[in-house]
Amino acid sequence: DGGITQSPKYLFRKEGQNVTLSCEQNLNHDAMYWYRQDPGQGLRLIYYSQIVNDFQKGDIAEGYSVSREKKESFPLTVTSAQKNPTAFYLCASSKGQGTSYEQYFGPGTRLTVT
Amino acid sequence: GQQVMQIPQYQHVQEGEDFTTYCNSSTTLSNIQWYKQRPGGHPVFLIQLVKSGEVKKQKRLTFQFGEAKKNSSLHITATQTTDVGTYFCAGGTSYGKLTFGQGTILTVHP
């Protein structure tokens, strides 16, 4: 069963702690993305990766870090430097790089930081 | 940065009424994609438009791409309760990235 998995579905952390969200895909897709979704603001791009061992900042990368050591995996770390980390985080992948490829989304992780 | 604006933010309709959401960009887009996110779910790809003036239909859904490739619309005829959710447009920009609109949240009252 091909797709994208994100875990956990819900995550709670105390302020000041780093937290890593996992994203795995078995679609053999080259490109992977991380988005943040807040009410009324749509999807905002945090980081994206077009190939293994390479990634680029999106529109709101401050306070986040990523790695792409394997094609299947693109974990996102929300650091304590992120001022408003509570949000719904979505991982996506696409077959190739560029805007003409449809993106497949995972189920998301809802992070709450108190 | 490049922005893709989507209106309205919310739309409440009675079942059977039509619904339209609009997407506008200040710059020319290479392509536009539309996604639907059901309540509590994740965005799912609906369609992509590439050509100037392109119109595509999927059952009761009609998608249009403007002649100048700066705007797009999604029209649903005779809405059903299964149409509820948030509809996003995403424009392909000159930076080689998809930029998502803010989304339109559709509520359908039975």
A98: contact with B, CB 8 A cutoff? yes
The answer to whether the peptide bond before residue A8 is cis (omega within 30 degrees of 0) is: yes
Query: Which of B28, B33, B42 would best serve as a mutation to test chain A binding (most A beta carbons within 10 A)?
Result: B42
Confidence (pLDDT) at B1 = 59
Residue B72 · residue B23 · CB < 8 Å: yes
Q: What is the mean pLDDT of chain B?
A: 95
The answer to whether the CB atoms of B45 and A45 lie below 8 A apart is no
Confidence (pLDDT) at A47 = 96
**DSSP of A42-107:** -EEEEEEEEETTEEEE-TT-TTEEE--SBTTB--EEE-TT-S---EEEEEEEESSSSTTSPPEE--
A71 torsion bin: left (phi>0), alpha (psi -120 to 50), beta (else): alpha
B28: contact with A, CB 8 A cutoff? no
pLDDT digits (tens, 9 = 90+) for A81-99: 888 999 999 999 999 888 8
Give the mean model confidence (pLDDT) for residues B81-109.
Answer: 93
Mark the ranges of chain A whose per-residue pLDDT is less than 50. none
Confidence (pLDDT) at B97 = 82
Confidence band for B78, pLDDT divided at 50, 70 and 90: very high
